Amino acid sequence: MSDNCDQYWANVMAAIPIPISDAGGPEPVVPMTRNWSDEIPRSRFSSWRVPVGERLTWLQAELDSREDDDPPGVVAAMEIAHQSTRVRTNLATWYSGSDIERSWRALHLAETRVIATSPDLVGRLPAIRERVLEDLDPKDQRVRALLAVRSTNIGDVERAVIAEALRGAYATSDNSHSAVRSLRNRLVLFGILMLLLNVVLGVLSSVFPTLLPLCVKGFCATGGSTPTGGDIWLIQLLGALGGAVAVVILLLRTRPSVVAYTLTPYQAAIKIMLGAVLAVVGVLITATGLFQDVIANRPALLVAALVLGYAQQVGTRFLDTYADNVVGKAQPKAGESN
């Protein structure tokens, strides 16, 4: 039985054609380069997969240029990063950011291993030091050890020092992106809360027009002398319009960002929703007679609602500054593109 199996496989192997070179021997086997890019025909709402595919292609080129075996764990990490780019995004993965963060963390692990084991590591030292100093404090022991590495003496210990410094820099960058995602999620939740509050107030005031005293000196927002269900909707609309004016200012002062998570649309939504709420609150205060000399007619009431909607800028300006700082820490550094 064993002799028959051996003969069978011998016949199979003999039937496989072997290309013959001009020199008379078998042609050398040329390894096929893996295509790490995202599926081009598939439509995407975000472009974070593009730089991931570019970095994976660069890593593959680095591996192909070496004669030694691939460093342990590199190909597995690249495969994880690539699979994460092919997953269809749903609400849960969008909220958690699992696909983006898994992809970049696996990519950074592979890149650390490839760079630390590079045969031309001496030539990469200046760029490595620049990259590490972008994210780690100069007093960090890993940075000090990295700066102490001399190009004339690169051994296993020095490569380990370089790998740990890169790991620390990449971890800081990844954590900064996680902070942006966390802030985005909080903005989304707060925006939904403001939207629900506006809708509830509008519906209740439409059903019970006298629930909120929104008329001043006998005139109401819609032009009548008695409260109607449309008063609160008009006030909220004008407040939202005032918030939209503040959104224009936000767009003018916000710097372009290539971070995978964007905050500007959610900041804009909060300004609009909060403007609508503040307009209602402001008209309620006016109805107490506090500004009776200022709000003397219906046009003045409508203008007051518009101005009060813009007034949310006083508070949300601090939110804008905080968001700028969080996004600034996650902006790509030298030699990085995520």
Structure-token pair, residue 146? 């990295």
> CB atoms < 10 A from the CB of 212, how many?
18
pLDDT at 30: 40
Q: Please tell me the distance from the alpha carbon of residue 80 to that of residue 230, in angstroms, as a whole number.
A: 55
Q: Which residues, 6 or more positions from 135, have their beta carbon under 8 angstroms from its beta carbon?
A: 168, 169, 170, 172, 173, 333
pLDDT < 50: residue spans in the chain: 1-2, 5, 8-10, 12-32, 334-335, 337-338
Written as one string, the DSSP assignment of 227-252 is --THHHHHHHHHHHHHHHHHHHHHHH
Q: Identify the pLDDT of residue 16.
A: 41
* CA neighbor of 278 nearest in space, from 228, 249, 240: 240
Cα separation, 296 vs 28, whole angstroms: 92
pLDDT tens-digit series, residues 280-291: 999 888 888 777
Please tell me the pTM assigned to this model. Answer: 0.80
Amino acid at 285: I
Q: What is the DSSP letter of 26?
A: B
pLDDT at 100: 93
Q: What was the pLDDT predicted at 14?
A: 46
Q: What is the pLDDT of residues 300-317, one digit of tens each?
A: 889 999 999 999 999 899
